């Protein structure tokens, strides 16, 4: 899947299906949610994002285990968050 396609899907999942912006700050997506860590500071690896999006942590839902996101969507949003915070 071309990288730009994956990034586009990732942004779409970030903004819509998972609504990550409600809880996280990420400059690339212009989101200012203040519940979870500021992703621009956290700078997680792609693997860390995948693990946490799948299994959740504290108030953050387990988007994977609870069947909210497909594995393709998880891969895309993880790639999107990693790439956007490591420019």
Partner 1 sequence: MKERIMKKIDTSKRNFLTGSVTLAGVAAATSVLPISIVNANHKDSSPKGLPDFISWKDRNALIVHSDKGIETHRSAIGESLITPNRNIYIRNNMPTMSDTQIGDRNNWKVSIKGVKNPKTFSLAQLKKLGHTTMATILQCSGNGRGFFAHKVRGSQWKTGAAACVLWTGVPMKLVVDACGGVDKDAVFMTSAGVDHEPTGLDPKKAKVERSVPKKVYKDAMLAWEMNGVPLPNAHGGPLRMVTPGYFGINNVKHLGQVAFTTTESTVKYMKSSYRISPIGKKGSQYPSCWEMPVKSWITRPTDETGTVKSGNVQIVGVAMGGMKKVRSVKVSIDGGQSWKKAKFVGPDLGKYAWRQFVLEANLTPGNYNLASKASGGGKTQPELRMENRRGYAHNGWKDHSVNIKVV
Q: Tell me which residues touch partner 1 (CB under 8 A).
A: 19, 21-23, 25, 32-38, 40-42, 47-48, 51-52, 55, 57-59, 61, 66-68
Please identify, using beta-carbon distances, which residue of 52 and 76 lies nearer to partner 1. Answer: 52
Please identify, using beta-carbon distances, which residue of 2 and 59 lies nearer to partner 1. Answer: 59
Residue 24's contacts (CB-CB under 8 Å, 6 or more residues apart) are 31, 33, 35, 36, 37, 38, 39
State the nearest-atom distance from the C-beta of 87 to partner 1, in Å: 12
Instruction: Kindly list the distances between the CA atom of residue 46 and the CA atoms of 50, 52, in Å, as whole numbers in the listed order.
Output: 6, 10
């Amino acid at each position: 899947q071309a990288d730009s396609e994956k990034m586009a899907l990732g942004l779409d999942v970030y903004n819509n299906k998972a609504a990550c912006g409600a809880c996280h700050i990420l400059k690339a997506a212009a989101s200012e949610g203040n519940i979870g860590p500021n992703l621009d500071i956290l700078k997680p690896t792609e693997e860390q994002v995948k693990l946490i999006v799948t299994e959740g942590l504290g108030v953050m839902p387990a988007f994977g285990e609870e069947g909210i996101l497909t594995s393709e969507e998880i891969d895309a949003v993880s790639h999107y968050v990693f790439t956007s915070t490591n420019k």
